[in-house]
Amino acid sequence: MIDLDKQQIEIARNNELATNNAERLSHKIIIDGKLVSAISEETIPVINPSNGGLIGQAPRCRSKDVDRAVKSSEKAFLYWKKIPARERGKIMMQAANRLEKRRREIETLLSLDTGNAIRTQAIPETSSAIELFYMFAGLAGELKGENFPPNMEHVLHYTTRDPIGIVGAIIPWNAPLFLMVAKIAPAIVAGNTVVLKTAEQAPLCVLLFSEILQEELPPGVLNVISGYGEEAGEPLVVHPKVRKITFTGSYEVGKEIMIKAASKLCPVTLELGGKNPNIILSDADLDIAIPGVIEGMRYTRQGQACTAGSRIYIHDKIYDKVIDGVVKRLSELRMGDALDELSDIGAIISEKQLKRTLHYMDLAVQSPSVKVLHGGHRPADPMLRNGFFYEPTLIEGLPIESPVCQEEIFGPVACAFSFNDFDTMMQSANNTPFGLSATLWTENLSRALQFVEEIDAGFVQVNQCVAPRANVSYGGLKMSGLGKEYAIDSMINHFTQSKTILINRGKSAHNHNC
């Protein structure tokens, strides 16, 4: 039996640690290495998704705060870019050590801020973020140009890899720490300085993470602001001193960022949405495929993941067996307060996002052929009524053309389809404007290779459906974005620029007097 007293004590302990940090960081941004008040006196309420209560206020930054942060970054860049790459790597390694020592603070505030369950999501995300930080710190020595064989007499021909300048980084709320590190760590190691805009829904955990980094980073190398996209994000994107934009979020916003950055020929990295297929062939090993549906849909993150396998294609021969297995496992997942170690599933990030899920479910149940196989409701538990909770949901019977099957819900709703023809199924799997991720379950090597060749996705897996991680190059095709992240290529390709140098040394030295 669960010891309820112990459970409540643990929740209270986690909540106190997180709440104290939330209160301390409330109303603050980071400029010149310090927690300071914003110029703007307006604020944005930060809500605990688990109970709907207020946990803090984030400054509603506007153009003046953006300009203040950029000026700090511009000043720091003059110094930071001259530090040898390996020395920058050592500084970042020391910063990562500090993150490791304060891991528990980070985990609890992440859980409070996002509503993601501490055991299944906040602890693994914090671990992954620190691991990614360590990785980029260790790659500092790989920032080097190339030397080319001479193709002109007496000419030395080589290239350099140099920092770009000030990077504007804009992150979402669903995995804020990992996505933050994916942007700031390679940029800073490469010699750039960064102005980071947090997501207004989950700014406090990012602020804590950044505050810890300030203990090692020189002032101004990383400045952190908060605010709405149109008020703080847009001024950051169009600022003439910002020479690189990296963004994770929706396709609609990503498109606008690209348009606005184009006026100053500013390069962009975009990781956008997905409507991803998770395909189970008749010969699949169901012992791994059935739990793979749960993991692939990111149900324990409330479906709030760009890589969520929300379109599940199951071969006719095994359809009922797979559905029964998935439904059984879904029924065993425990939904509850995000800071409760026993919770498998937490809360959706906000009331707005919950309403988005409810909207798509309303569309789904209007179809006469739809059947809700699991979930489809807000939980009945009175302890959860004030939070933004929604049951993990699996439905069948919708036509593939339905907006529920075509548009990114970013909630815990997946659609199941049966098929008996591989080629027809592949046409359906590719019939979406997105091309982020895709998964196939099979023991047929030939089919697996055919799938890899034909699927329109940038992140492809066979017989597993794990989330992206350190040293796995990740990015989408089509409307799912531009560029790859999480590996060395993202640091070199996205956060450095190259010079080509030709030096004519003249005639041989022996023809001259020394």
Reply yes or no on whether the pLDDT at 407 is more than 80: yes
- Mark whether 443 and 335 lie in a shared domain: yes
Distances (CA, A) of 480 to 171, 234, 237, 459, 486: 15, 21, 20, 11, 16
Task: Quote the strand ranges of 276-407, DSSP E.
Answer: 277-280, 311-315, 371-374, 393-396
- Mark whether 326 and 370 lie in a shared domain: yes
The pLDDT value given to residue 417: 98
Confidence of residue 412 (pLDDT cuts 50, 70, 90): very high
Which tokens hold the place of 133?
Answer: 């930080």
Q: What is the largest CA-CA distance in the chain?
A: 94
Judge whether 486 lies within some domain: yes
Judge whether 456 lies within some domain: yes
Q: Which residues have CB under 8 Å from 220's CB, separation 6+?
A: 32, 33, 72, 73, 75, 76, 193
103 CB burial (10 A radius; 0-12, 13-18, 19+) = middle
- Mark whether 53 and 161 lie in a shared domain: yes
Task: Look at the alpha carbons of 325, 331, 337, 339 in this order and tell me if their dihedral is positive or negative.
Answer: negative
Judge whether 31 lies within some domain: yes
CA angle 244, 93, 166 (to 5 degrees): 15
Rounded mean pLDDT, 73-92: 97
pLDDT single digits (tens) 136-166: 999 999 999 999 988 888 999 999 999 999 9
Judge whether 3 lies within some domain: no
Helix (H, G, I), strand (E, B) or coil at 244: strand
β-sheet bridge partners, residue 269: 246
- Mark whether 30 and 169 lie in a shared domain: yes
Q: What is the CATH number of the domain that holds 312?
A: 3.40.309.10
Q: List alpha helices for 166-299, DSSP H.
A: 176-189, 204-213, 234-238, 251-262, 286-296
Asked if residue 36 lies in contact with residue 29, where contact means CB atoms within 8 angstroms, the answer is: yes
Task: Look at the alpha carbons of 161, 165, 168, 171 in this order and tell me if their dihedral is positive or negative.
Answer: positive
pLDDT single digits (tens) 30-51: 999 999 999 999 999 999 999 9
Judge whether 330 lies within some domain: yes
Reply yes or no on whether the pLDDT at 510 is more than 60: no
Which DSSP category does 317 fall into?
A: G
Judge whether 384 lies within some domain: yes
Confidence of residue 68 (pLDDT cuts 50, 70, 90): very high
- Mark whether 284 and 237 lie in a shared domain: no
> Residues for the chain: how many in total?
514
In the block, residue with structure tokens 């066979």: 462
Residues designated catalytic: 271, 306
- Mark whether 219 and 329 lie in a shared domain: no
- Mark whether 365 and 332 lie in a shared domain: yes
The pLDDT value given to residue 451: 98
Q: List alpha helices for 40-122, DSSP H.
A: 63-80, 85-101, 103-114
Judge whether 163 lies within some domain: yes
Number of compact structural domains in the chain: 2
Q: Which residues have CB under 8 Å from 468's CB, separation 6+?
A: 307, 459, 474, 485, 486
Confidence of residue 29 (pLDDT cuts 50, 70, 90): very high
pLDDT single digits (tens) 97-118: 999 999 999 999 999 999 999 9
Asked if residue 326 lies in contact with residue 394, where contact means CB atoms within 8 angstroms, the answer is: yes
pLDDT single digits (tens) 208-260: 999 999 999 999 999 999 999 999 999 999 999 999 999 999 999 999 999 99
- Mark whether 79 and 33 lie in a shared domain: yes
- Mark whether 113 and 183 lie in a shared domain: yes
The pLDDT value given to residue 1: 46
Which residue range forms the structural domain that includes residue 364?
Answer: 277-462
pLDDT single digits (tens) 262-317: 999 999 999 999 999 999 999 999 999 999 999 999 999 999 999 999 999 999 99
* Residue 238 phi, psi (nearest 5): -90, -5
- Mark whether 29 and 63 lie in a shared domain: yes
Average pLDDT, the chain: 95
Alpha carbon distance 248, 173 (integer Å): 10
Judge whether 471 lies within some domain: no
- Mark whether 318 and 448 lie in a shared domain: yes
| Amino acid code (one letter) for 457 | A
Task: Calculate the dihedral angle through the C-alpha atoms of 352, 174, 392, 321, rounding to the nearest 10 degrees.
Answer: 140
- Mark whether 383 and 370 lie in a shared domain: yes
pLDDT single digits (tens) 377-394: 999 999 999 999 999 999
Alpha carbon distance 315, 281 (integer Å): 5
Q: Considering the chain, what percentage of its residues have pLDDT values greater than 90?
A: 93
Q: What is the CATH number of the domain that holds 130?
A: 3.40.605.10
**H/E element, 194:** strand 193-197
Alpha carbon distance 277, 280 (integer Å): 10
Reply yes or no on whether the pLDDT at 5 is more than 90: no
The pLDDT value given to residue 508: 63
pLDDT single digits (tens) 173-186: 999 999 999 999 99
Distances (CA, A) of 185 to 133, 205, 257, 261: 6, 17, 22, 22
